[in-house]
Amino acid sequence: MKEFLWKYRYYLLFGGIFVVYFLNLFIDIMEVDAAQYSVISMEMSWTKSFLHVFEHGKDYLDKPPLLFWSTAISYLTFGISNFSYKLPSVLITLLGIYSTYRFAKMHYRKEIAIAAAFILASSQALFLITNDVRTDSMLLGLTMFSVWQMSAYLRTRKSIHFLLLAVGIAGAMMSKGPLILVILAAAFGTEFLLKKQWRNIFNPRWLLLLLIVAVLLFPMCYGLYTQFDLHPEKTVYGLEGPSGLRFFFWTQSFGRITGENYWSNDSGYFFFTHSILWDFQPWIFLFIPALFLKIKQYFQHIDKKIVSSDEFITLGGFVLIFIALSLSHYKLPHYIFVLFPFASIITAQFIYRLSDDVRSKVARWHFGFMQLFWIAALGILTIVFPVEQIFPPVLLTGLFVLSWFAFRMLRGRTERMIYPVIIIAIGFNLVMATHFYPNLLSYQASSVVGQEIRGKNWDVSLYAYESHAIHFNARRFIPSWDTAELLEAEKGSLVFTTRAGFEEIDERRGATVFKKYPSHRATLLNLPFLLYWSRPDHVEYEYLVKLD
């Protein structure tokens, strides 16, 4: 048994992680962002308008088009579904994990590279963005691919790496704007300056690289120019005559730091310092000392005349961009996920640099702390959404035993700090993918009613109600009525609305409840909702009503 588990450890652990990723592909899409992007992609697949992006027939100017292009193609290939929406982004995320391994292997020994890939793949951020798919999945994958290709080019000077670097940069820019250029400049700039590699900084081939990237960006830029810059009479999101090109290359990314972008949520400078405590679990308590030691190592090399063989690409890429993003006026936790490949490599290097004695003590402490994940999983199965089937607790118990077996079996090995913790991450997220999210999203009323509209072919309209998931799940656009249309509608018409909307309809012309749906925002959870005994008092209802 021991020999089998050790021989096939990589396949078993990555297999467990990928099973969770695969299950995530079938979970209902969540409001708001993922549902919005799925509907935009659905509209693009219908209209075949790939250069001009629309949302419900209106001009859309927010995110670059790569997510919409790839998802629309996926819809046309596999049909419209949760699976089709998430598949392209998850595949590019897998590319990011592989790129992390290949980059780390260039600078460290193979064991550290494998550990870095495992740490990244098993972080909560990766389990999240393979479920709640937004533009960050593609940004992470293509950014790390670019970092790998740039490092490979600097070592080999092969044209293939140069061209793939251009492809990676263009893809990342079409995922979420020019942030990739800043990340590469910060990451490799730190390395070049510390090692005094002036020829790499002033290499004229970087101009050729930008030219190739510009050529690859031409279809997107042409679409932005013809949709917006040629039409100064347009007003989008309250912006009069916006330049699509300026919005993409400046306002959307850097405007959040300068304040030019209209998005602002007044989040503090330490927002990401707090959010990373969960998003980089179960590795955050190893990453924090690893980062400080890496920074200490940096300052120890500043004044050295001899070129160090150490790698500082990951340090510059993480620290400088983390600070820059923290200065933004608008922050969401997933904005820093693009930095987690760097964090994973720093953490893996730290683990393998510990002395045997220290490693043994840290392993025991860390593994002990990770038992909280088993407690959390047990809580989900008992007091959040009480389980009715026997399989989830049996599976959880088996993985719990396996994690302890691995911890005991790996005594004296560095892998003791890594592999048992990965088993815990797999077990917890299997519960999330198979039990927590399916039950939670039964309270996303827009998805539930959308599926019923599609399945029963109901003719429904919306009143005083905004949703993206309802259109996606209905596989068609559900019309929205204003007051005049409501008053003129035929008797017996079905209308979906909120409680306030139902009261207004009932007052204006009368209506009876056809069906009501429990509702709670999946991304805004609180303890009273999570506890099953207090949940009924903290659930809103949305209504499908029949007009009198």
Asked if the model's pLDDT at residue 36 lies above 90, the reply is yes
Average pLDDT over residues 268-289: 88
Least confident stretch, 294-303, 335-344, 391-400 = 294-303
164 φ, ψ to 5°?
-65, -30
- Can you give the pTM of this predicted structure? 0.92
For 51-66, b/e burial (b = at least 16 CB within 10 A) is ebbebeeebbbbbbbb
Q: Which tens digits make up the pLDDT trace of 447-480?
A: 999 999 998 888 888 988 888 999 999 999 999 8
CA 64 – CA 175 distance, rounded (Å): 6
Task: Check residue 504 and give its pLDDT.
Answer: 87
Task: Please report the sign of the dihedral spanned by the C-alpha atoms of residue 434, residue 437, residue 440, residue 443.
Answer: negative
- Are the CB atoms for 404 and 420 separated by under 8 Å? yes
**In this structure, are residues 223 and 51 in contact, taking their beta carbons and an 8 Å threshold?**
yes
What average pLDDT is seen over the chain? 88
User: What is the pLDDT at residue 302?
Assistant: 62
pLDDT of 306 strictly over 50: no
Distance CA 74, CA 241 (A): 33
**Is there a contact between 225 and 55 (Cβ–Cβ < 8 Å)?**
no
Written in H, E and C, the secondary structure of 195-237 is CCCHHHHCCCHHHHHHHHHHHHHHHHHHHHHHHHHCCCCCEEC
- Going by C-alpha positions, the residue among 126, 172, 176, 21 that lies closest to residue 83 is 21
Cα distance from N-terminal residue to C-terminal residue, the chain: 69
Per residue in 327-339, pLDDT (tens digit) is 877 778 888 899 9
CB 237 within 8 A of CB 262: yes
Average pLDDT, integer, range 115-131: 95
Read off the DSSP letter of residue 251.
I
Cβ(29)–Cβ(82) below 8 Å: yes
Nearest 5°: the CA angle 185, 286, 276 is: 60
Q: Is the pLDDT of residue 130 over 80?
A: yes
Predicted confidence (pLDDT) per residue in 156-202, tens digit: 999 999 999 999 999 999 998 888 999 999 999 988 888 888 888 88
Q: Is the pLDDT of residue 113 over 60?
A: yes
The answer, yes or no, to whether residue 263 has pLDDT greater than 60, is no
Asked which of 305-314, 400-409, 510-519 is least confident by mean pLDDT, the reply is 305-314
Higher pLDDT, 297 or 52: 52
How would you label 288-327 residue by residue, b for 16+ Cβ within 10 Å and e otherwise? bebbeebeeebeeeeeeeeeeebbbbbbbbbbbbbeebbe
SS3 state at 179: helix
Cα–Cα distance between 44 and 48 in angstroms, integer? 5
Q: Structure tokens of 284?
A: 């955050």
| Residue 491 banded pLDDT, cuts 50, 70, 90 | confident
Q: Are 331 and 265 in contact (CB under 8 A)?
A: yes
Q: Where are the alpha helices (DSSP H) in 327-418?
A: 340-353, 356-369, 371-379, 391-409
- pLDDT value of residue 177: 85
Q: Compute φ and ψ for 309, nearest 5 degrees.
A: -85, -5
Give the separation between CA 415 and CA 421, rounded to whole angstroms.
10
What digits encode the pLDDT tens for the residues 232-246?
A: 777 776 677 777 788
Segment 390-408 mean pLDDT? 89
Instruction: For residues 457 and 525, give the distance between their C-alpha atoms in angstroms, rounded to a whole number.
Output: 32
Is 298's pLDDT higher than 80? no
pLDDT value of residue 319: 92
**Percent of the chain at pLDDT exceeding 70:** 95
Predicted pLDDT at 317: 92
Lowest mean pLDDT among 139-143, 258-262, 510-514: 258-262
Say how far apart CA 177 and CA 117 lie, in whole Å: 25
Q: Which two tokens stand for residue 66?
A: 């790569």
Q: What is the mean pLDDT of residues 206-214?
A: 94
Domain segments of the chain as ranges: 31-353, 367-440, 444-547
Residue-level pLDDT at 266: 59
Q: Is the pLDDT of residue 129 over 60?
A: yes
Contact 216, 166 (CB under 8 A): yes
Q: Where is average pLDDT lowest: 70-79, 340-349, 389-398?
A: 389-398
Question: Do the Cβ atoms of 451 and 40 come closer than 8 Å?
Answer: no
